[in-house]
Chains A and B, each alone.
Chain A
Amino acid sequence: MNPIDERLLHLTRRSLLGDISRGIGSIALGSLLHPELASASATMLPGFPHFAPKAKRVLCLFQSGGMSHVDLFDDKPMLHKHAGKEIPPSVKGTQRLTGMTSGQSAYPVVPPLKGGKLCGKNGTWISDLLPHMQTIADDICVVKTLNTEAINHDPGITFMNTGSQLPGYASMGAWVSYGLGTENASLPAFIAMVSQGTGKNPGQPIFSRLWGSGFLPSSHQGVGLRPGRNPVLYLENPPGVERDQRRAMLDDLAKLNHLRAEELGDPETLTRIQSYEMAFKMQTSVPDLTDISSESKDTLEAYGPDVHKPGSYAANCLLARRLLERDVRFVQLFHRGWDQHIAIARQLPNQCHDIDQPTTALIKDLKQRGLLKDTLVVFATEFGRTVFSQGKLDDPAMGRDHHGRCFSIWLAGGGVQPGITYGATDDFCYNIAENPVHIRDLHATILHCLGIDHTRFTHKFRGLNIRLTGVEESHVVKSILT
Chain B
Amino acid sequence: MNSKPFLPILALMTSSALAAPVMDYNRDIRPILSENCFSCHGFDEKARKAKLRLDVQEAAYAERDGVTPLKPGDLAGSDVWQRIISDDEDDLMPPPKSHLKLTDAEKAKVKAWIEQGAKYAGHWAFISPQRPVVTKGTGNAIDALVRERLKEEGLKPSPEADRAMLMRRVSLDLTGLPPSAEEVQVFVKDASPGAYEQLVDRLLKSPHFGERMALDWLDSARYADTNGFSIDGGRHMWLWRDWVIQAFNDNKPYDRFLVEQIAGDLLPNRTEADLIATGFQRNNMVTHEGGTIPEENLANYNADRVKTLGESVLGLTLGCAQCHDHKFDPITMKDYYQLFAFFNSLSDRGLDGNAGVNPGPFVSAKTVLKTDEVPALQTRIASLKQKLASKDEALFAAWEKRQMSSLSQRGQGFKAHPVKVLKVSTPNRGNGFEMEGENGVRLPQVADLAAYDVAVELPKVAEPITGLRVVFHPVPTLPGGGWGSGPMERKARPAAKAKGKGKAAAPTMENELPKKGSFVLTGIGITVDVNLNDQVNLHKLEKIERTTANSWLEKFPPAAALDPRNDSGWSPDIGTQGDVRLTATFDSPVDSKVTPYLTAQLVFGNGKSMIPGHFEFLVVTGHDDDSDLPEPVIAALKTDAAKRTPEQNEMLWSYCSAHAEELNRTRVDLANAEDRLTALTQPFPTMVMDVSPKPRDTFILNRGNYMQPLEKVSTGTIASLPPMPDGSTSDRLGLAKWLTMKSHPLTARVAVNRVWKMLFGIGIVGTPADFGAQGEWPSHPNVLDWLSVEFMESGWDVKHLIKLIVMSDTYRQTSASSKELIERDPQNRLLARGPRFRLPAELLRDAALKTSGLLVPTVGGPSVNPYTPGDLWREVSHYGSTPATAQTFVQDHGEKLYRRSLYTFWKRTAPPPNMTAFDAPNREVCTIARGNTTTPLQALVTLNDPQFVEAARVLASRALQYQGDEPARLQWAFLEVTARQPKPEEMAVLKSALARERARYAAKPELAEQALSVGEAPRHAAIPAVEHAAWMQIASLLLNLSESVTRN
Contacts and interface: CB of A to CB of B under 8 A. Distances in A.
Contacts of A6: 819
Which 4 pairs of residues, A with B, have the shortest CB-CB distance?
A343-B430, A240-B1011, A463-B774, A240-B1010
A264 B816 contact: yes
B428 interface: yes
Interface stretch (B137-145, B461-469, B581-589, B921-929): B921-929
Given A20-B929, A249-B993, A234 B940 contact: yes
B818 to A, nearest CB: 6
Given A256-B986, A343-B430, A205 B767 contact: no
15 contacts: A23-B837, A205-B230, A205-B231, A206-B876, A208-B910, A217-B933, A249-B1033, A260-B1043, A263-B816, A264-B816, A265-B816, A266-B815, A267-B822, A397-B432, A463-B775
Contact of A240 (B430, B774, B924, B1009): B1009
A201 B946 contact: no
Interface string B622-650: 00000000000000000000000000000
B826 A22 contact: yes
Contact of A238 (B929, B946, B986): B946
A435 interface: no
A114 B502 CA distance: 57
Contact of B429 (A24, A204, A342): A342
A212 to B, nearest CB: 7
Nearest to A350: B534
B761 A202 contact: no
A223 B937 contact: yes
Interface in A299-353: 305-306, 308-312, 342-347, 350
B293 A346 contact: no
Nearest to B868: A233
A295 interface: no
Interface in A437-455: 455
Interface in A265-312: 265-269, 271-273, 275-276, 278-279, 282, 305-306, 308-312
SS of B interface (majority): loop
B37 to A, nearest CB: 14
Contacts of A138: none
Interface stretch (B197-205, B211-219, B911-919): B911-919
B365 to A, nearest CB: 29
A242 interface: yes
A123 interface: no
Contacts of B1010: 239-240
Nearest to B432: A397
B817 interface: yes
Contacts of B530: 308
A164 to B, nearest CB: 11
A49 B832 CA distance: 38
Contacts of B351: 99
Contact of B876 (A198, A205, A249): A205
A259 B1011 contact: no
Contact of B937 (A96, A207, A236, A279): A279
Contacts of B293: 96, 98-99
Contacts of B443: none
Contacts of B427: 200-203
A364 interface: no
A147 B319 CA distance: 26
B827 A154 contact: no
A18 interface: yes
B126 interface: no
A268 B993 contact: no
B936 A201 contact: no
Nearest to A16: B934
A310 B529 CA distance: 11
A205 B907 CA distance: 13
A347 B451 CA distance: 15
A10 B819 CA distance: 11
Nearest to A458: B1
B1037 interface: yes
Nearest to A245: B1000
Nearest to B1001: A240
A241 B1000 CA distance: 10
B9 interface: no
B293 to A, nearest CB: 6
Nearest to B293: A99
B876 A463 contact: no
A462 B531 CA distance: 52
Interface stretch (A26-34, A69-77, A410-418): A26-34
Given A100-B290, A153-B289, A264-B816, 4 more contacts: A25-B932, A26-B934, A32-B936, A311-B539
A21 interface: yes
**Most chain A CB inside 10 Å of its own CB: which residue of B428, B934, B1008:** B934
Contacts of B1013: 239-240
Interface string A75-111: 0000000000000000000001011100000000000
A233 B913 contact: yes
A367 interface: no
Interface in B504-543: 529-531, 533-535, 537-540
Interface string A192-231: 0010101011111111110010000111010100111010
Given A279-B939, A455-B99, A464-B320, A218 B1033 contact: no
Given A151-B291, A455-B99, A459-B1, A29 B1042 contact: no
A201 B874 CA distance: 11
A279 B943 CA distance: 10
Interface size range on B against A: 35 or more
A198 B916 contact: no
Contacts of A268: 836, 838, 934, 1042, 1046
Contacts of A100: 290-291
A456 interface: yes
B409 to A, nearest CB: 31
B290 A462 contact: no
A144 to B, nearest CB: 24
Nearest to B326: A463
Interface string B104-147: 00000000000000000000000000000000000000000000
Interface in B875-902: 875-881
A259 to B, nearest CB: 6
B772 A463 contact: yes
Contact of B3 (A19, A153, A309): A19
A477 to B, nearest CB: 20
Nearest to A230: B869
Given A202-B881, A276-B939, A98 B909 contact: no
**Most chain A CB inside 10 Å of its own CB: which residue of B431, B767, B769, B1045:** B431
Contacts of B838: 268
Contacts of B925: 166-168
Contacts of B774: 462-464
Contact of B941 (A20, A151, A234, A253): A234
Contacts of A24: 822, 826-827
A249 B952 CA distance: 14
Nearest to A263: B816
A255 interface: yes
Contacts of B965: none
B1033 A245 contact: yes
A90 to B, nearest CB: 21
Contact of B1036 (A18, A203, A249, A397): A249
Contact of A256 (B320, B924, B944, B1041): B1041
**Most chain A CB inside 10 Å of its own CB: which residue of B1, B289, B1013:** B1
Interface in B935-953: 935-941, 943-946, 949
Contacts of A344: 430
Interface string A457-475: 0111011100000000000
B501 interface: no
A464 B3 contact: no
B1048 A264 contact: yes
A130 interface: no
Given A20-B929, A23-B828, A217-B933, A396 B911 contact: no
